[in-house]
């Protein structure tokens, strides 16, 4: 049940530079290779923790969404590295193409998610997972099927988000595993409000993060995080064909066993770009107080915002985010 005596934190509109961060360092892997092979190579750096029945949580998108992770990349990864794994999703809170299970399955067909089983985890109901140390929740309502899995890969399209500022691994799990009627309402809607989107900014980031913590704690050490920095509209894939045009350059893929480090690295790569390349995405992140996702993950002990960035394209050399984005080209200027 949601608590009512908490107050939101502050600072979600401000990017915290590297030199102001403290604590231990995690490891984040990086590749510039935006392809099925690049995805497989970086998965190999973190995928050994996944065993048993593996769930692959990704955003399958609204109908004909142009920016989702390419299906052929996911197909090749699952066939070669995760045979028998299952794509997992939940229904949406808003009335759209994935509001009911039947609508959701039709959208999955339209978008080409037909090469592997897809489990809509709240199809048969919900269950409550504990939220340890939360100030908004003691537990979060998720799709009941989640407890049937032994491990989870958060395979995330890193991009902007209308309300969250940005969508990384934290948003993928926090919103994406909460069930469509109860869990998502707990995150988005103040008790007694007739505005379903009544919670925003700092409080929304904290509620998303507490929801994520329930999932991360459930899987323990059997969870890995991959963020794909490609086709980064300021809007989420839930916007489908209505998403704002992409203007931020493609960067590459990061992976880690630390969810905070994975999302922080994605953020640092964006901020390391030239101002002209990053300004639209940065404005979306800061105006929605999206940085509170990161600072609250740290407060909840979910990971480290310092990390070693390992360039798997160059014999695992350690590099800086600035070096990683050297030479990125304006969106649409590619050799493909």
Instruction: Spell out the SS3 assignment of 96-113.
Output: CCCCCHHHHHHHHHHCCC
Helices (H), 47-200: 71-81, 101-110, 169-174, 183-188
Q: Find the radius of gyration of the CA atoms of the chain.
A: 18
Summarize pLDDT for 217-228 with one digit per residue, the tens: 999 999 999 999
β partners of residue 153: 56, 224
The pLDDT value recorded for residue 145 is 98
CA distances from 240 to 43, 105, 111, 234, 307 (A): 27, 16, 11, 12, 33
Q: What's this model's pTM, rounded to 2 decimal places?
A: 0.95
Q: Is 139 helix (H, G, I), strand (E, B) or coil?
A: strand
Distance CA 109, CA 113 (A): 6
Domain residue ranges in the chain: 27-324
Question: Across the 336 residues of the chain, what is the mean pLDDT of every consecutive 10-residue run?
Answer: 46 95 98 98 98 97 93 98 98 95 97 97 98 98 98 98 96 98 98 95 98 98 98 86 90 98 98 96 97 98 98 98 94 55
Given this model, what pLDDT does residue 335 score?
40
Rounded Cα–Cα distance for residues 284 and 253 (Å): 21
CA dist 92 to 42, 66, 119, 179, 181, Å? 30, 19, 14, 8, 8
Give the closest residue to 14 by CA, choosing from 281, 263, 206, 286. 286
What is the reported pLDDT for 168?
Answer: 98
- Helices and strands per DSSP (H, E), number in the chain: 10, 13
**Buried residues in 165-194 as b, exposed as e (16+ CB within 10 A):** bbbbbbbbbbbbbbbbebbbbbbbbeeeee
CATH for 27-324 is: 3.40.50.11440
């Amino acid at each position: 049940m949601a608590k009512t005596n908490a107050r939101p934190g502050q600072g979600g509109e401000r990017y915290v530079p590297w030199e102001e961060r403290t604590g231990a360092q995690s490891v984040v892997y990086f590749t510039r290779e935006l392809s099925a092979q690049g995805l497989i190579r970086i998965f190999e750096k973190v995928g050994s923790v996944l065993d048993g029945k593996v769930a692959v949580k990704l955003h399958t998108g609204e109908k004909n969404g142009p920016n989702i992770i390419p299906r052929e990349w996911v197909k090749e990864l699952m066939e070669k590295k995760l045979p028998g794994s299952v794509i997992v999703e939940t229904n949406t809170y808003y009335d759209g193409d994935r509001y009911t299970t039947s609508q959701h399955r039709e959208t999955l067909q339209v978008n080409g998610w037909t090469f592997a089983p897809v489990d809509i985890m709240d199809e048969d109901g919900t269950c409550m997972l504990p939220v340890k140390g939360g100030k908004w929740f003691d537990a979060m309502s998720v799709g009941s099927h989640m407890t049937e899995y032994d491990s989870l890969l958060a395979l995330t399209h890193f991009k902007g988000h209308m309300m969250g500022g940005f969508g990384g691994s934290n948003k993928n799990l926090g919103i994406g595993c909460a069930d469509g009627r109860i869990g998502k309402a707990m995150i988005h809607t103040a008790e007694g409000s007739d505005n379903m989107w009544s919670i925003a900014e700092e409080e929304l980031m904290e509620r998303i993060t507490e929801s994520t913590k329930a999932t991360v704690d459930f899987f323990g050490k059997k969870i890995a995080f991959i963020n794909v920095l490609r086709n980064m509209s300021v809007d989420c894939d839930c916007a489908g064909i209505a998403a704002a045009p992409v203007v931020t350059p493609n960067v590459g893929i990061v992976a880690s066993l630390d969810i905070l480090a994975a999302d922080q690295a994605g953020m640092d790569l964006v901020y390391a770009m030239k101002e002209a390349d990053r300004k639209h995405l940065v404005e979306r992140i800061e105006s929605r107080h999206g940085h509170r996702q990161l600072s609250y993950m740290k407060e909840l002990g979910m990971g480290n915002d310092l990390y070693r960035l390992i360039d798997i394209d160059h014999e695992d050399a350690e590099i800086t985010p600035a070096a990683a984005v050297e030479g990125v080209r304006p969106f649409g200027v590619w050799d493909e």
